[in-house]
Structure 1
Amino acid sequence: MLINMVFPKNAAFNAKAILYLIFFFLIGEVHAQNKSYDIDITNSSKAIIYNGLDLGGVNNKGNSIAVNNYYISINKKPIIPVTGEFHFSRYPEQYWDESIKKMKAGGITIIATYVFWNLHEEKENVFNWDGNRNLRKFVKICADNDMPVIVRIGPFCHGEIRNGGLPDWLLPKPYSVRSNDPGYLAEVEKLYNEIGKQLKGLYFKDGGPIIGTQIENEFQHSAAPWGLTYPGQPYDYTAAERDLGVTHFGVSVSETKNPYQELGNNHMKILKQLAIKAGIQTPLYTATGWGNAAIIEKGSLPVTAAYAYPTWTKKADISPFYLYKDLTKTPDYSPVSYNPQEYPAFAAELGSGIMCTYTRRPLVPAKSLDALVNRCLGSGVNGLGYYMFHGGSTPKGDFFFQDEAGGSPKISYDFQAPIGEFGQIRPSFQRLKPIHFFLKDFGDLLAPMVLTLPQNNKDIKPTDLETLRYSVRSDGEHGFLFINNFQDDLVLTDKKSLSVNVKTKTETISFPISIKSGENAIYPFNLMVGGANLKFATAQLMMKSEDSKLPYYVFFINDGEKPVFVFSKSKGLKIKNSISSNILQTAKEWKVLPAENQNSEFLINLNGKQTKILVLTKETALKSYVLDPTNKKVLCFTNALPLQNGDEIKFLSTGNSEFDFSIYPKNNLTPKLSDGKLSSIKNRLFDTFSVNLPKYADSLNFTQTSDRKIQVSMPSPNKQIEDFFLNIDYVGDTGMAFIDGKLITDNLYKGLPWQIGLKQYMFNKKGDQIQFYFRPMYKGAPYLVDLKSSDIPDFSKTDKYIKINNVSLTPQYKAFVKF
């Protein structure tokens, strides 16, 4: 509550009057915060249609994938898949395996990848599947890592690639692209046949990893500008002439009535038939369904999107993507061309970053991503997908393949993704992991649960900073309460001493709510844990291990929460403290109060069967990884990145030659370190170890020859160094990096240091020096609207500004540990 008090000039107020004003102000704040919210879930139900879609299949090992109108299941078990976009052709093939392992460590369960037509058939009738374009090799490496794949085969892709992936040589052909013109379909059939040859034997039906195929992209909704254009010329879009009236440049709401919708759906159906004819047969087919885009009716899974920080709008706006809604009835970017209740809600393009353009350079905060995921799950979504999850660099052919016409960088496709252009791990990667772990272990419970929204939900606006945003998914008795306290481009108030009363079929459960601005939470209720009924908890469920000898459940405390666990009393149930938890009991309940600022543990004992409950701080949860180095599921906590390969863990530590790692459950492990010094550290909860590696001591050698140019010598390789990250702190417009006169990457300044990974150049001996050229920022540049005021120079005495503040080197150390 904000009170603006205006006092008359020179007015005299006595001390008592001022104290009364302060008293009533504070009372108002207390009343504003001590608010109760009610939600009735007693009528939760959903009609599940099991045979309404022409999707699914069984492979040669007897494993099945099925799709109903609400969720996907594997071997009849509901799942909530987590898909991460990673473009193999935008990353060096020698590091594909490492990148797939990074994505797996981040909780990704499916990789989606584009097959860009123009990268593989730049010259007509000459296909290139070599090197970084080796699709078959990439899919095989996914198979080696037990990672399912969705192949996005186009023909149109978008993906900020030149012409959206269509080859330049299509432009003058005597037929209309993205239409049923026989000439165009013949070219598509040729492409699909080539893709089919590359993927032969790697489909799900064959026991391979390819479970899905995306047909086209944003058909009859969006297009890319043709790369053959002139400065200042209006865009000439890669769309059939008849569809130009409904074509958008980016993802948006489309209110325009499409007179050719039936033709669009028919075109999508023909493309699927061509794909199947080419051998591209998968249990899942997807089609982008937002903004009235065409789909394959009953024969595709229409997927949705949410980009809270778009660059295709004129300026930043407050999005609706952090308000709960029923996405099974009204998808984002509605209206849509299909009946949403006939298909599962699959948010396959959540903007886990954004591609900056010359004129727009918004920053995507890490907190926005898990908040967006929370909102989607709490709105009925049963599938997640990130675009992009892993950045990269677009290769160059006869010209730059990046979408220059759309204002993209020449090469960099970093996308501010959770894993960056050079494999950097970002804060968003850490914030998403706990939800991914939760979905892997509890997705079978959540997926069938039905959404209930509070009665006042439709009245909440994105600009409402005060009202609590919440929803419930349940079966009427058991479920999860979703809370979101984040909004893009606004700061919501801290929520303190609130309560949410959930009316189930048998009782009303009152959740005490305290959560900080920018945070979000998912709370379970009536969840069976170790045979006991967890009536509710104000800590977020993260993962479980149901090992018969040592079962355990893991929760974490979100910022601002006051954690409490309430268990229903039952015969033979005892709960006792292990570490840092207070245990209380009444005639009907057990109440556990874990410590708020440290990791804790308590024990459930039900008729002699013991289950451990680990409660983590948010800081520890963000450092967690799920591993099984001894064929037993364990949690690893570390500031480094652990990548598992069989019984060996490769730790990557960026910037620190010394790091710790801890293992839970505590099991008196004796790991062995390949190089360096390994020491054991006493810890009541975990097996904890310290790794000490030789510190890289060489200094960075660089020279600055003008205010726009620097030259940096490559650092010396070291057997314990995985990579070097070069950090260029500058203020300007753009930066470009060259090796041997060839542009290797570039940067659009957005207020952050520019970081380049060197291993693909240094260890491959492509050159011994990187040369940089920078261009100055100009007064009145259009992208200044996206920069923080502190990142904009003083233009009062100049019209342009360029300054290179610092150049530094961050080594990434590696250590191999076996258990």
Structure 2
Amino acid sequence: MSNPVFTLARAAILLLASSLCFISNADSQILVDASAPYLQPALSSFQTGAARTPGGHTLGLNQRFITRDDKPWLPVMGEFHFSRVPASEWEEELLKMKSAGVDVVSTYVIWLHHEEIEGQFDWSGDRDLRRFAQLCEKHHLKLYVRIGPWVHGEVRNGGFPDWLLSKGPTRVNDPVYLSYVTKFYDAIGQQLNGLYWKDGGPVIGIQLENEYSNRAPGGGAAHILELKRLALAAGMDVPFYSVTGWDRATIPQDAVLPVFGGYPDAPWDASPKDLPPNEVYSFRFHGRVAGNMGAMGAATATALNPASEDTPFLTAEVGGGIEDTYHRRPIISSDDVAAIFPTLLGSGVNLYGLYMFQGGGNPEGKLSTLQESQATGYPNDLPIKSYDFQAPLGEFGEERASFRKFKLVNYFLNAFGDQLAPMTPHAPDVLPKDRADVSIPRLAVRSQDDRGFLFVNNYLRGTAMPARHDFQVKIKLPGGDLLLPNRPVDVPSGAYFIWPFNMELGGVHLRYSTAQLFTRLHAPETFVFFCIPGIRCELSFADESGLAIHSTGGQVLRANGSVTITNLKTASETILSLQGSGTKPVRVLVLSENDAENAWKVRLSDKEHLLITPQQFFTSDDQITLNSDGDLRFRMTLFPAVKTAPSASSRLTVKQQANDSTELSTSLKLIQPQLTITQIRKARDVPAVKIGPPPSWRDQGVPEAPAGATFVDDAAQWRIKLGLEPLLGLSNLFLQVDYTGDIARLKYGNHLIDDNFFNGTPWRIGMKRLLDSNEAGDLQLEILPLRTDSPVFLEGAVRKTLPPTGQIDQLHSIHLVPQYQLTLRTTP
């Protein structure tokens, strides 16, 4: 890096030429009044279960936030359905989640997966809940278990075994039903015995039921309380019990915690067209329930005044993606889900729960397929196998762009969540009139006394937000007004971010930053930020006595009691060295957003570093693993620099950089797996889709997925043959299918490997689990034609590629993508 070092002497010279730039336009300012005295949170009436470990560690909560060892804690929770992923892959996927900043893993225990045949419980193999919990414990991940008994989760009967439905009423205090629930809960309790928080284990919470609003005799709050009693009787004594808080939820006060969420689209909606602007991109100043979470009835609003609320604002189902249904197939971008972070955190959320974080696939059923379908009385048709959910970690473990986007905020919450958690939200003086109003900037402040964070979202899925010119926020604080930033900036369409203000950085006072706070490293103390593309990148510090600043980039301006490092390059890193009078030196590393997305915290020889790489990443205590799809070249940068490169599975080329970093690179041997494709049958004409009956809460029916016989009769078919030892030298091998049609299926003999509802994106299937199971013979690909008059929702850009009439089944390309792997040791 060749940028000059700006000293304070040069800053004084620059000040004269720049002083006029500090004049702001008061008419363009947005006002947020956060001047009211800070109120400490009151105790909650919720009574925790056993909340102390044998070692004395505690979990608790008050009306505003969760506590860990009596200190504020703002955890990140990610959903991972263990029975939808092969057990052989659990550990690696958990390590990926942990590497991306997830603190708590949540999981459904799906009754149908464990007792499909009455009286025959199966907790073996991919259904081994105890082993999954033990892996969470091994890697210091906490576990939140969602035990139902009805879970939904896009599962057949909402997770109920077929046989249970013949026994009588369900989801009420019916003696017969409760007798079976008792057995199921007892079986779960045995699986988790000795693994609860009170035992020093990972299990910290239990969710009872799901989307429950039944107020019939034997239902309502009495039923939730009975389920909690049964869970306790089965040994499930944990700090936290919760229920979902939408769909007119039944929430017994003092006994359970309501949790909330929101999704970027609504695949349960009957519309075959684009949906109106979604409220998840708006701040929730008047309620905790998302409009698109109230699919089955009016939502129960819960006021957001933290001083008067009895429980913290907790979430469990913030969309990490969305599952395509047969009738509605949206494509979810990484921005679609990452832009929800500032709106919910700015609204006061103090547990960020992502659903799903890890995609999966339905296990084999002994008696039937296990997915939700209209044929079984449910409102939507889902793929038989795939539950990919367009999640940050896909069905086969692939890391998507959202994995990196989420990490940007997860790392921030890991490092600074204890500061954010006590802070209360404040709305600006002018709000958009509704979720579709794009004329008013969307923002919120959370603060405690004079310090806090500004949350801004200028992104709305499906709508181009206007750029915000001359953007500046005036925050009224108890200690006086703050302009953020000093000089107005332009906020591009599609930008979203979190800016800190009045924050102590190791004894140096940061007035504000238009770079987003990312994480911190220790020894030496380093605070890491990243610039927001299209916005002037600057950090402003209080010009306290003796403050010395050295910067490797930008301009250093001193005026009106502040020192501002401005015009930092947004495409390269900058290092600031700061030291106040009588304080230890502090470093600030400012990255580009792209480098921050590629930056991961690692420990090498027990010292913290950032490892910046475009490759897929995860780490354990003793090893760093990098995966590369199709590219045999591995490139990475370590900050701070290392004198000696870590040992690796391939010899590394080492290059020391002037900016206290070390570049490492290597190339692996080229591997070109062989693939032979032969078409064995062309498609036939398919009938028009049928429209199913509407459920009571939806005003119209939606297209039904074609029956299996339609595939037998009408689908185009290809034979796929892999070469010998296709996985040799690889960590995985992906079959990528680029096609246009209605539904595609990959089979091995009569065994369905995976299926896909066409939405316009390539379909990728991981071959490792198939090859590891010795199913290495010829595969069969089937593509059912899509009638262009089929009233299913496809994104507009995809719909435009279809012919105006007729049907289409095109296999555009099919090829193998080898996944190369490089490992590095974290200790000598």
Determine the C-alpha separation between the residues in 1 that align with 2:793 and 2:281.
26
Q: Which residue of 1 aligns with 2:508?
A: 532
Question: SS of the counterpart of 1:497?
Answer: strand
- Residues 1:443 and 2:412 are matched in the alignment: no
| TM-score of the two chains, using structure 1 as the length reference | 0.88
Residues 380-389 or 764-773, more deviating: 764-773
Aligned pair in 2 of structure 1 residues 363, 683: CA closer, same or farther (>3 Å)?
Answer: farther
Q: Which moved more, 1:681-690 or 1:765-774?
A: 681-690
Distance 2:151 2:727 in 1: 40
Q: Which one of the candidate residues 353, 358, 367 is aligned to 2:326?
A: 358
What stretches of structure 1 of length at least 5 have no aligned partner? 1-30, 221-242, 244-257
Alignment of 1:359-374 (within 5 A): 359-374=327-342
Q: 2:614 aligned to 636, 639, 644, which one?
A: 639
Which of residues 438, 444, 447 in structure 2 aligns to 1:474? 447
Provide the C-alpha distance between the structure 1 equivalents of 2:117 and 2:560, rounded to a whole number of angstroms: 78
**SS of equivalent to 1:609:** coil
Residue of structure 2 in register with 1:509 after alignment:
482
Does the CA contact (< 8 Å) of 1:677 and 1:693 recur in 2? no
Using the alignment, how far apart are the partners of 2:755 and 2:746 within structure 1?
Answer: 6
- Asked if structure 1 preserves the Cα contact closer than 8 Å seen for 2:655 and 2:664, the reply is yes
The DSSP-based 3-state class of the residue aligned with 2:368 is coil
Is structure 2 residue 776 aligned with structure 1 residue 767? yes
CA contact (8 A) 2:573 2:592 kept: yes
Equivalent residues in 2 for 1:309-328 (5 A)?
309-315=265-271, 316-326=275-285
C-alpha displacement of 1:488: 2.1
Q: Which amino acid aligns with 2:558?
A: Q
CA distance in 1, matches of 2:667, 2:192: 44
Distance change in 2, residues 1:690/1:111 (3 Å): same
Query: 1:117–1:155: 8 Å Cα contact kept in structure 2?
Result: yes
**What residue identity is the alignment partner of 2:466?**
T
SS of alignment partner, residue 198 of structure 2: helix
1:295 maps to which residue?
Answer: 251
1:250-287 deviation line (CA, Å, top 9, x unaligned): xxxxxxxx576x94111101100100000011111111
* Residue number in structure 2 paired with 1:520: 496
Q: 1:453 aligns with which of 427, 430, 439?
A: 427
CA contact (8 A) 2:458 2:494 kept: yes
Report the Cα distance in structure 2 between the residues aligned to 1:731 and 1:433, rounded to whole angstroms. 33
Give 2:792's match in structure 1, choosing from 779, 783, 797.
783
Cα offsets for 1:659-694 (capped at 9, x unmatched): 211111223242112235544364524211012111
Amino acid at match of 1:736: R
Provide the residue aligned with 1:434 in structure 2. Answer: 408
TM-fit CA distance, 1:337 = 8.1
Paired residues of 1:212 and 1:283 also in contact (CA < 8 A): yes
Q: Distance in 1 between matches of 2:667 and 2:575?
A: 29
Partner of 1:114: 108
State how 1:220-299 maps to structure 2 within 5 Å. Answer: 220=213, 243=214, 263-299=219-255
* Aligned residue number for residue 686 of structure 2: none
For residue 358 of structure 1, report the CA deviation from its aligned partner. Answer: 1.0
Number of aligned residue pairs: give it: 745
- Partner residue, 1:348: 316
How far the C-alpha of 1:636 sits from its partner, in A, is 1.2
Are residues 1:79 and 2:73 paired? yes
Segment of structure 1 superposing worse, 500-509 or 438-447: 500-509
For residues 483-502 of structure 1, the aligned pairs below 5 Å read 483-502=456-475
Deviation, 1:48, is 1.6
8 Å contact kept, 1:750–1:787: no
Shift of 1:331: 6.6
**Secondary structure of 2:358 counterpart:** coil
Aligned to 2:260: 304
1:800 aligned to 2:807? yes
Identify the structure with bigger relative contact order (alpha carbons < 8 Å, sequence gap 6+): 2
Q: Which amino acid aligns with 1:182?
A: P
What per-residue deviation string (whole Å, max 9, x for no partner) do you get for residues 76-98 of structure 1?
Answer: 11111111111000001001000
Closer/same/farther in 2, CA of residues 147 and 300 from structure 1, 3 Å limit: same
Q: 1:376 Cα deviation (Å)?
A: 0.1
Which segment is superposed worse, 427-436 or 35-44?
Answer: 35-44
CA shift for structure 1 position 785: 4.7
How far the C-alpha of 1:769 sits from its partner, in A, is 2.5
Letter matched to residue 709 of structure 1: Q
Paired residue type of 1:690: S
1:731–1:328 Cα change, 3 Å:
closer
Cα shift at 1:644: 1.6
Give the alignment partner of residue 721 of structure 2, picking from 713, 719, 730.
Answer: 713
What is the DSSP-based 3-state SS (H/G/I as helix, E as strand, rest coil) of the residue aligned with 2:280? coil
Tell me whether 1:750 sits opposite 2:709 in the alignment. no
2:666 matched to which residue of 1? 691
**How far apart are 1:335 and its partner, in Å?**
4.2
SS of the residue corresponding to residue 502 of structure 2 reads strand
Q: In the alignment, is the contact (CA less than 8 A) between 1:327 and 1:379 conserved in 2?
A: no
Is 1:336 the counterpart of 2:343? The answer is no
The separation in 2 between residues aligned to 1:39 and 1:675, in whole angstroms, is 54
Offset at residue 338 of structure 1 (A): 7.2
TM-score, reference length from structure 2: 0.87
- Alignment check: 8 A CA contact 1:583 1:591 kept: yes
> Which residue of structure 2 aligns with residue 255 of structure 1?
none
Change in 2 beyond 3 A, CA 1:32/1:89: farther
Deviation sequence 1:42-62 (CA, Å, 0-9, x none) = 015445222521025111110
Aligned to 1:390: 358
Q: Is the 8 A contact 1:391 1:422 kept in 2?
A: yes
What is the match of residue 700 of structure 1?
A: 675
> Which stretch has the larger CA shift, 362-371 or 439-448?
362-371
Deviates more, 1:626-635 or 1:201-210: 626-635
Greater shift in the superposed pair: 500-509 or 378-387: 500-509
Instruction: Please tell me whether residue 672 in structure 1 is matched to residue 640 in structure 2.
Output: no
Alignment partner, residue 47 of structure 2: 54
Alignment of 1:403 with 2:412, yes or no, is no
| Alignment check: 8 A CA contact 2:727 2:733 kept | no
| 1:473-504 Cα shifts (integer Å, max 9, x gaps) | 00131100111001122110122332111121
Using the TM superposition, give the Cα deviation of residue 643 of structure 1 relative to its aligned residue in structure 2, in angstroms: 2.0
- Match of 1:342, as an amino acid? D
CA distance in 1, matches of 2:807, 2:386: 24
Q: Is the 8 A contact 1:659 1:690 kept in 2?
A: yes
Q: How does 1:648-667 map to 2 (within 5 A)?
A: 648-667=623-642
User: Secondary structure of the residue that 2:90 maps to in structure 1?
Assistant: helix
The alpha-carbon deviation at position 289 of structure 1 amounts to 1.1
Q: Is the 8 A contact 1:713 1:768 kept in 2?
A: yes
| Equivalent of 2:559 in 586, 590, 596 | 586
Q: Tell me the C-alpha RMSD between the 2 structures.
A: 2.1
What's the CA shift for 1:773? 0.7
Q: Distance in 2 between matches of 1:402 and 1:329?
A: 30
Cα distance in 2 for partners of 1:733, 1:124 equals 36
CA distance in 1, matches of 2:729, 2:656: 23
Q: 1:19 is matched with which residue?
A: none
CA contact (8 A) 1:582 1:592 kept: yes
Displacement of 1:34 in angstroms is 8.1
Asked if structure 2 preserves the Cα contact closer than 8 Å seen for 1:328 and 1:345, the reply is no
**Cα deviations by residue, 1:150-191 (Å, 9 ceiling, x for unpaired):** 011110000001100101001221x31000011111110010
Deviation at 1:370, TM superposition (A): 1.6
> Is 1:136 paired with 2:109?
no
Q: Is the 8 A contact 1:676 1:694 kept in 2?
A: no
What's the secondary structure of 2:792's corresponding residue? helix
Contact 1:33-1:496 within 8 A present in 2 as well = no
Matched residues in 1 for 2:39 and 2:651: separation? Answer: 57
Q: Write the distance in 2 (CA, Å) between the matches of 1:281 and 1:631.
A: 36
Cα shift at 1:292: 1.6
Q: Can you list the C-alpha shifts for 1:645-670, whole angstroms capped at 9, x where unaligned? A: 22321111122110211111223242
Following the alignment from structure 1 to structure 2, what is the Cα–Cα distance between the partners of residues 643 and 55?
A: 34
Cα pair 2:196 2:203 within 8 Å, conserved:
yes
